[in-house]
Amino acid sequence: MRALISVWDKTGVVDFATRLSSLGWEIVSSGGTAAALADAGVPVLAVEDVTGSPEMLDGRVKTLHPRIHGGILADRSKPAHLASLDEHGIAAIDLVVCNLYPFRSDPGPELIDIGGPAMVRAAAKNHGDESGGVGVVVDPADYEAVLDELAESAASGAGGLSAATRRRLTRAAFAHTAAYDAAIVSWLDEPAGSETEAAGTGESPEAAPLPPTVHLALERVDECRYGENPHHLGARYRPVGELTWWDHAYQHSGLALSYLNFFDADAAWRIVHDLGDAEGSSAVVIVKHANPCGAAAGDDLADVYQRAYDCDARSAFGGIVAFNKIVDLDTVERIEAAAQADLIIAPGYEDGVVERLEAKRRNTRVLEAPRPDEASLSLRQINGGWLVQSPHTFASAPEDWQVVTQRKPTASELADARFAWRVCGHVMSNAIVLARDRTAWGIGAGQQNRVESGQLAAAKADGRAAGGACASDAFYPFGDGVEAAAEAGVAVVVQPGGALRDDDVIAKANELGLAMLFTGERQFRH
């Protein structure tokens, strides 16, 4: 039995080869792997001794040879293939152990592996059926199980891996090469030089067009407690070989996360950091069913939490609470006095805070996490396909907004408008947000018309946004939406503009004594 071992990731390879050799296997290896095995005293046959050809082109060509690929690809069930091996003096290769150059660590041509994928795919193609075939191992985590099965097989006289194991390893092999190719395609999709060129000219880089193809290679890393409902299965996947902020998050206490815990916590974590960064202060966001039901910003975290909770205390029950600052003892006192949250997430906790949460909120999941990652493409599945768009952003700056009414907003009203607009951009459409003093006192979301969203926001605000701002994620098609904002007592309305009846809407705002700002951008979210 002959094995070909050529790996970049040498984790456990010496122990694997040592035990494989003790089972009577001949080991062929190349380059650094051969040197590592030889240094450890493992009997090893160099690839160049098999091929009769030295490594070439700085190692770019070493295993690409008929004496290697003939040995891997020969179908042992076909006499003609066996005769061809005999004719050319080629020994069959029964096991290929190979993993690829770490392209993601330093993307570029020199880390595009050629010989590795060729060997892996050749072995996987020839994994065979019950009559025998080639085994292929790409993950060091499989070494122990493969060795145990080979030892049992040798003891019984069978001498190889079972068809079921070869098939399982083959799937892993093709997943390995598919993920590798996907990483290369993603690198090639990155706009070459645009940021560097823009930096030299003082101009902003142009947005890259959406790629002609999208290649997803995902690995399962977390089992959800259940899916969207308890009778559904759920899991968290990530891009193969990449770590996200979720992989660095630590759960201090509470039940295992469900599908919706992941979904809502991810939304809350992105919103609270966006809001905190925009305001340059502490921020707290409470999310329920993918929508913020409370949001506030300010200097004192305990006060910010209280205002966020007071936005909609009824909806906050069982919600996701996100903090952009370390949770202190003053804040945990407010949390203890409030309705129980399903999950709390923060960048850290003062000494004693987690213990108090565990004692008073045993079922609350308490997470500590780094900042969320930068967004890339946004993908959403539809029946038979996917919708892809660039990530959610705020394109306009408040200093570029247009005052379209006779009355201009005061400095405090403009600050309220900026805050309301930022929160509104994270609410599912149709979205209306009423805010004052960096607190979203009324949030209307997901209604089929803008007027009812405004009425819902006004009912929740209950007068607390008087003198503040109303933000609408899309233009007001008629003046009735502005009337609803005025009835809530706000002083300024911020909206995208662009309706056919903009003049009528502006006239209504003037009639009601409101200031109105046009942002020039829509913020629909679905």
> Looking at this protein, which amino acid is placed at residue 245?
W
Q: Scanning the structure block, which residue is given the tokens 């079972």?
A: 162
CB atoms within 10 A of CB 79: 9
**Gap between the Cα atoms of 288 and 427, Å rounded:** 11
Q: How many CA atoms lie within 13 A of 348 on its CB side?
A: 4
289 is annotated as an active-site residue: yes
Strand order in the sheet with 26-29: 45-46, 26-29, 2-7, 95-99, 135-137
> Looking at this protein, which amino acid is placed at residue 276?
G
CA 412 to chain CA mean position, Å: 37
Q: Using CA atoms in the order 312, 313, 314, 320, what is the torsion angle rounded to 10 degrees?
A: 90
**Gap between the Cα atoms of 461 and 213, Å rounded:** 46
Q: State whether the Cα torsion 394-398-400-401 is positive or negative.
A: positive
* 3-state secondary structure string across 81-134: HHHHHHHHCCCCCCEEEEECCCHHHCCCHHHCCCHHHHHHHHHHHCCCECCECC
Q: Which residues of 80-101 are buried (b: 16+ CB within 10 A; e: fewer)?
A: ebeeebeeeebebbbbbbbbbb
**Start-to-end CA span in the chain (Å):** 58
- Of these residues, 252, 289, 325, 392, which one is catalytic? 289
> Looking at this protein, which amino acid is placed at residue 442?
G
434 has which bridge partners? 442, 470
Six token digits for residue 203:
């101009």
- Using alpha carbons, select from 358, 367, 326 the residue that is nearest to residue 340: 358
* Residue pair 123/31 in contact by the 8 Å Cβ criterion: no
62 is annotated as an active-site residue: no
- Of these residues, 81, 125, 215, 325, which one is catalytic? 125
Residue 320's H or E segment, with its range, is strand 320-323
The region that residue 420 occupies, defined by phi over 0 for left and psi between -120 and 50 for alpha, beta otherwise, is: alpha
Residues with a catalytic annotation lie at 125, 289
